[in-house]
């Protein structure tokens, strides 16, 4: 009996409100390998970022993505390099999944010249024109109209490109999100809104903040179809993502994917996370860890042996170690940089 992993919201008459069931999607061995490796890179990168934060190498706020890796890795597997990506401030995983250099990301975290923003943006404000990654935005909600604008431009320019606009469950209560849903549907814009529902907006649970807790239904008033997905299962994410991307590329307007996910760490480094029990966290980690789920699949399908998995772990650790070394050795930005890049 297949486990039900998605729920859908009908939007107008465009899409029937059937409950979709998990089929066994066809993922090639190479795709599965890439899922695993990409998720592992984010996990190890974030663990290391947490560690060097503790050493004082990273300042300010640092929001780790640990636990949510399947969302961005699964979604990014559905798009091409011409498509645009934008998110809020929990953004390290998105950048790595966009193919940005871990060295440049880590060096931005340490505020160094070699960082993507020359050390002037920090954890929450990084961009890569080359990777079509449009930030990295520190104001909750701001990335949603901005992402809608990226999709507007894609359509205006007559491309077939699409935008992945990520946000959290906290963002989903900002007014500008609904202004965006309205315009995106009105103008038929090619944007997939990915709501990463990790259950807590900082310390406030979805139940305590949201009158409608089924966030995939938040587009109903605007006829934007939505679907709830097991965001801890990279295969479910990728499958739902493929459908959503096809929908928006076909010119049918925006689509909402609510990813049920979980962050293992606090909201930011200084969050003691007293709003949830240790048992809750441990249960998620033990039973729903996205990387472990993917690892089991790799072993079960004999795609990788234990030894090969260990080798991948070593490779990924080496990449992260290199990134840290680069981020420690890259000089701080020159004092003259204080006054550059303000206006052109």
Partner 1 sequence: MPTEILMPALSPTMTEGKLARWMVAEGDDVSSGDVLAEIETDKATMEVEAVDEGKIGKILIAADTDEVAVNTPIAVLLEDGEDASALDNFSASTAAPAETMAEPEPAAATPVAAVTTTEQPHDAYDASGEIPAGTETVKIAVREALRDAMAEEMRLDERVFVMGEEVAEYQGAYKVTQGLLDEFGARRVIDTPITEHGFAGVGVGTAFHGLRPIVEFMTFNFAMQAIDQIVNSAAKTRYMSGGQMESPIVFRGPNGAASRVAAQHSQCYASWYSHVPGLIVIAPHSAADAKGLLKAAIRNPNPVIFLENELLYGHSFEVPVMDDFVLPIGKAKIARPGDDVTFVSFGMGMEYSLAAAEALAGEGISAEVIDLRTIRPMDMDTVLASVRKTNRCVTVEEGWPQSGVGAEIAAQIMEHAFDYLDAPVMRVTGKNVPMPYAANLEKLALPSAEEVVQVAKSVCYRD
The residues binding partner 1 (CB under 8 A) are: 47-48, 50-51, 53-57, 59-61, 84, 86, 115-121, 125-129, 134-139, 142, 144-154, 156-157, 175-176, 179-180, 182-183, 186, 264, 269-270, 272, 274, 285, 328, 332, 335, 338, 340-344
Least Å distance between CB 21 and partner 1?
33
The answer, yes or no, to whether the previous bond of 136 is cis (omega within 30 of 0) is yes
Least Å distance between CB 4 and partner 1?
30
Give the DSSP H or E segment for 100: none
Q: Which is nearer to partner 1, 128 or 228 (CB)?
A: 128
Q: Which is nearer to partner 1, 73 or 126 (CB)?
A: 126
Q: Which is nearer to partner 1, 164 or 240 (CB)?
A: 164
**Nearest CA to 9 among 228, 197, 242?**
228
Grouping H, G, I as helix, E, B as strand and the rest as coil, residue 8 is strand
Least Å distance between CB 341 and partner 1?
4
Cα–Cα distance for residue pair 43/45, rounded to 1 Å? 5
Helix axes 102-109, 29-54, angle to 10 degrees: 20
Q: Which is nearer to partner 1, 202 or 269 (CB)?
A: 269
Cα–Cα distance for residue pair 58/106, rounded to 1 Å? 9
Least Å distance between CB 154 and partner 1?
7
Q: Which is nearer to partner 1, 161 or 230 (CB)?
A: 161
Least Å distance between CB 262 and partner 1?
14
Least Å distance between CB 128 and partner 1?
7
Burial of 8 (0-12, 13-18, 19+ CB in 10 A): buried
Give the DSSP H or E segment for 96: helix 92-97
CA dihedral (75, 201, 152, 162) in degrees, to 10, reads 0
């Amino acid at each position: 009996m297949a486990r039900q992993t998605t729920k859908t919201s009908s939007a107008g008459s465009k899409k029937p409100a059937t409950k979709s069931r998990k089929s066994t999607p066809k993922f090639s061995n190479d795709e599965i390998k890439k899922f695993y490796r990409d998720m592992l890179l984010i996990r190890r990168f974030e663990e290391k970022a947490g560690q060097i934060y503790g050493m004082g190498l990273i300042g300010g706020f640092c929001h780790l993505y640990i636990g949510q890796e399947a969302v961005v890795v699964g979604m990014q597997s559905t798009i091409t390099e011409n498509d645009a990506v934008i998110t809020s401030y929990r953004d390290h995983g998105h950048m790595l999944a966009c193919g940005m250099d871990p060295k440049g990301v880590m060096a931005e975290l340490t505020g160094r010249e070699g960082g993507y923003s020359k050390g002037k943006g920090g954890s929450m404000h990084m961009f890569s024109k080359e990777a079509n990654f449009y930030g990295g935005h520190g104001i909750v909600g701001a990335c949603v109209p901005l992402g809608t604008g990226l999709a507007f431009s894609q359509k205006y320019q007559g491309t077939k490109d699409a935008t992945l606009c990520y946000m959290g469950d906290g963002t989903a209560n900002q007014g500008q999100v609904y202004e965006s849903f309205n315009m995106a549907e009105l103008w038929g814009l090619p944007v997939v809104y990915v709501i990463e529902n990790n259950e807590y907006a900082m310390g406030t649970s979805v139940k305590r903040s949201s009158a409608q807790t089924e966030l995939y239904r938040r587009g109903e008033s605007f006829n934007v179809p939505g679907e709830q997905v097991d965001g801890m299962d990279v295969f479910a994410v990728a499958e739902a993502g493929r459908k959503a991307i096809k929908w928006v590329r076909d010119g049918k307007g925006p689509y909402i994917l609510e990813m049920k996910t979980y962050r293992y760490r606090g909201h930011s480094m200084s969050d003691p996370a007293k709003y949830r029990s240790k048992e809750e966290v441990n249960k998620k980690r033990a039973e729903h860890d996205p990387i472990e789920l993917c690892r089991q699949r790799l072993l079960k399908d004999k795609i990788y042996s234990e030894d090969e998995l260990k080798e991948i772990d070593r490779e990924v650790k080496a990449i992260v170690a290199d990134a840290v070394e680069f981020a420690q050795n890259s000089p701080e930005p020159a004092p003259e940089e204080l006054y550059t890049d303000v206006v052109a």
